[in-house]
Amino acid sequence: MRRLFLLLLTLFPVTAFAHQSSTALLTLKETTDGLRGSVQWQLIDLEQSLGLDQNRDGELLWGEVKAMTPEIRTYVERHLSVQQGGEACAPQFSVPLRFNNARGAMASAIVPVTYVCSTEGNIEVSYSGFFSLLPEHRLLWNLSVGDQSRQGVLEASGSFSINSEMTTGELNKQTFAEFFVQGVIHILLGPDHVAFLLTLLLVSVLVQQKTHWQPAADVRTCVKTALLYVTTFTVAHSLTLSASALGWLALPGYWVELIIAASVVVAALHNLRPYLPASAVVVFLFGLVHGFGFASVLSELTTGTGNIAWALFGFNLGVEAGQVAITLLVMPLLISLRRLGWYRQVLVRYLSAALAALGSYWVLARI
């Protein structure tokens, strides 16, 4: 019997699991039987809303989750509705709940559902789950009707639809725009990605001299090093983000989150006392893993979609835009401070120590 230790989840902030914090996944596809698909909710969210851990022992068994199937399906009926041609479609539940075989904050229940519609016309889907309880909640959705497919994100109670009169090009533009914004948000609000990037930038204005740092001779050297780190990181995570989102590569989310946290520790310790002979190579290797982290918000949307490429392109470009914004904001200050003695002895040392401690906390929280 699968055991899910919710007690551990309550001991650490949800931000310890930076890529799975309160995210629901919805997939609906038009079939001859109606709109068939599933909604996937994290167990930690369902626990807070429905109280799945009935005996309150801090340990959640899959049997306890299955016992709450009627309550979970009722939650679907109350917070997820479909209309076609202005008429409500009836939800049907004929397939048992499934578990996504993840652990920690990523553990989720998958609720298969079919919406039977009696009329024709444009399809509109409305969703309101968890927003009142969890303001940071969001829904990643994928709706396929006929030869049209659209993906998007809801960050507040609302609805979405596919207009049969919209061209494929218009749908692609909508998808690109929505996921571009999500990419920017993901990097700016992803504490582990930002921590790793800042750790790299701190020493991009310095030159490694065996086991210590010296200020770079000129601005050109600083910019060249920063470009090397940022470009290497970008190329690496773009490769695995694309490969993972398209279903070509897969890595367990547990190990992805753990290695991402460890990357912050490794980079921060290198700042304290240089010990990595080829920093760009290390940045590339860790960048590959960070790409899997970025892909975690897209992987569930790849199956059976016609325009996943636009979602992927928009999201990836949004991530890069956010990354460039952080770099442009930080680098002028670091360049101007690099020659001051306290920059290396105080700022780099203590800030890197703090980042190493933060990364260590994330590692422990994700084990």
Of residues 210, 196, 205, the one with CA closest to residue 291: 196
pLDDT digits (tens, 9 = 90+) for 218-256: 999 999 999 999 999 999 999 998 888 777 888 887 888
When pLDDT is cut at 50, 70 and 90, the band that residue 136 belongs to is confident
List pLDDT tens digits, range 14-31: 344 445 568 898 999 988
User: What gap in Å lies between CA 206 and CA 334, rounded to an integer?
Assistant: 10
Residue 250 and residue 244 in contact, taking contact as beta carbons nearer than 8 Å: yes
Average confidence score pLDDT of the chain: 84
Residue 262 CA to its chain's centroid (Å): 18
**What is the C-alpha to C-alpha distance for residues 334 and 54, in angstroms, rounded to an integer?**
53
Q: Please state which of the ranges 40-44, 208-212, 335-339 shows the lowest mean pLDDT.
A: 208-212
pLDDT score recorded for residue 243: 87
DSSP 160-204: EEE-TTS-HHHHHHHHHHHHHHHHHHHHHS-HHHHHHHHHHHHTT
pLDDT band at 310 (very low <50, low <70, confident <90, very high): confident
How is residue 86 written in tokens?
């202005």
Phi, psi of 41 (to 5 degrees): -120, 140
> What pLDDT does residue 118 have?
86
Per-residue pLDDT tens digits for 76-103: 999 999 998 889 999 999 899 998 877 6
Structure tokens at 127: 């969703």
Give the separation between CA 145 and CA 152, rounded to whole angstroms: 15
pLDDT digits (tens, 9 = 90+) for 187-210: 887 888 899 999 999 999 999 887
The residue that leads in pLDDT, 306 or 206, is 206
Q: At a CB cut-off of 8 Å and minimum separation 6, what does 345 contact?
A: none
Domain edges within the chain: 3-165, 184-366
Confidence at 120, pLDDT banded by 50, 70, 90? confident
**Predicted pLDDT at 300:** 58
Sign, CA torsion 349/350/351/354: positive
65-69, 121-125, 241-245, 293-297: which has the minimum mean pLDDT? 293-297
